[in-house]
Amino acid sequence: MAWQSGGVRLRPGDIASFIRLGRPLFLVAGFVLYGLGASIAAWGGAIDVHRYVLGQLVVTAFQWMTHYANDYFDYDADRANLTPTAWSGGSRVLVAGELPRVTALVAALTLAMIGVAFALVLACAPGAGWRVLPIAGAMLVLSWEYSAPPLRLCARGAGELVTALVVTGLVPFFAYDLQARAGGGGGVLLASIAPLACLQAAMVIAIEFPDAAGDTAAGKRTLVVRLGAARAARLYVALGALAYVALAIGAVTVLPARIALAGAASFPIAAWRLARVADHRDPAAWERLGFWAVAVLMATAIAELIAAISLH
C-alpha cells in the first residue's frame, strides 16, 4: 500500500527510513550535556523551566539538523565505505536508495529554520536576552559547516575539534548562560566539561577508523586519514588519558568531590579500552571500538549530570 500527495508517492517504510536517517539515538548526548550545564548554573536557585525548554529545543533542532546534513553531504564517502558500523558510515538510508538524497537536505534546512525560530523566541524570553543569539549562531554555523561546503570542516581534519567544541563546549555553556543568574560557577562548568571534550574528540577518532578507506577514496581528509591509523591511534590514547588528567586537576581545584568522583567512575573501562587501542587494526573489532568509545563518553557525562543534580 502507498499514499500519494502532491505528486509525491509515499510508502509505509518511508517514515521509518526518514527517522533512521536522522539517527535519533544520537540526540541523547545533547540532552545530557545541556542538562549538565543548566544543573551547574542553577546551584543555589531553581531552574527557569521556560528558558530551559526553549534552549533545549534550539540545541536539539541544530543537532538533528547536523545528522541529516551529514548524510547528505557525506553521501560520496558513505557510498565508498564498505565497512560501516552502527557508529560510523552514516545511517545508510541514502546509499541504500530508501529515500531520495534531497530528503536529507530538506530536513536539515527545515530543522535549521526551526532552531533559528526557537532561538529568536528565546532571545525575547524574560531573563534571556539577545546575548543568547551569538552562542546559538555559533552552534548553527559550526554544526552546518562541519560537513557542508564551503568549509566542510570534517574533511579538513578539523571536524574532531569542532565536534568537541560544539557538543561538549557550546551546548553546556548555552544551558549555563541561560540559567546562570540563579547561581553556580563558570570554573566548575569548565572543569566538568574539559574531560568530556577530550573523550568526545577521542570518540570521533575511534569511529573514524572504519571509515578511513571510504573517506580517502572520496577525498574526505579526517584526522585518521591525515595522520594515518597508527598516529591517530596514539592521539586517541593521548586524548583519553588527558581526559582523566583534566578531571584530576579539576578535582584539586574547583570541582565538587561528588562530580569528580562520578566522572572518575568510568576510568577503569576507559583504561581497559585505551590498552586495547590495537583494535583499530582489526576490522572485526571496529564495532566494539566505536561502542566503547561512545559508552565511556556517555557514562562519564551522565555520571557528572547525576552528581550535579544531587548537589542541588
Task: Quote the pLDDT of residue 8.
Answer: 45
Q: Please give the backbone phi and psi of residue 251, each rounded to the nearest 5 degrees, phi first.
A: -65, -35
Task: Quote the pLDDT of residue 96.
Answer: 96
The label of the residue with cell 557538543 reads 167
Task: Quote the pLDDT of residue 1.
Answer: 35
The label of the residue with cell 534552549 reads 55
Q: How far apart are CA 87 and CA 26, in angstroms?
A: 9
| Angle, in degrees to the nearest 10, between helices 229-251 and 186-208 | 160
Q: Please give the backbone phi and psi of residue 29, each rounded to the nearest 5 degrees, phi first.
A: -60, -40
Task: Quote the pLDDT of residue 184.
Answer: 53
> Which 8-state DSSP code applies to residue 210?
G
The label of the residue with cell 541544530 reads 62
Q: ∠165-167-173 over CA atoms, to 5°?
A: 75
Beta bridge partners of 5: 8
Separate counts of helices (H) and strands (E) for the chain = 15, 2
Q: Are 311 and 256 in contact (CB under 8 A)?
A: yes
Cell numbers at 251, concatenated? 578535582
Task: Quote the pLDDT of residue 10.
Answer: 54
Q: How far apart are CA 175 and CA 105, in angstroms?
A: 28
Q: CB atoms < 10 A from the CB of 62, how many?
A: 28
Q: What is the pTM of this model?
A: 0.94
Q: Which amino acid is at 250?
A: G
Residue ranges and CATH numbers for the domains of the chain are 16-310 (1.10.600)
Q: Cis peptide leading into 149, omega within 30 of 0?
A: no
Query: Alpha-carbon Rg of the chain, whole angstroms?
Result: 20
What is the full per-residue pLDDT of the chain (312 aa) written as tens digits? 333 434 445 566 789 999 999 999 999 999 999 999 999 998 867 899 999 999 999 999 999 999 999 999 999 999 999 999 999 999 999 999 999 999 999 999 999 999 999 999 999 988 887 889 999 999 999 999 999 999 999 999 999 999 999 999 999 999 999 987 645 578 999 999 999 999 999 999 999 999 999 999 999 999 999 999 999 999 999 999 999 999 999 999 999 999 999 999 999 999 999 999 999 999 999 999 999 999 999 999 999 999 999 987
Q: Are 242 and 198 in contact (CB under 8 A)?
A: yes
Q: How far apart are CA 146 and CA 132, in angstroms?
A: 21
Beta bridge partners of 3: 10
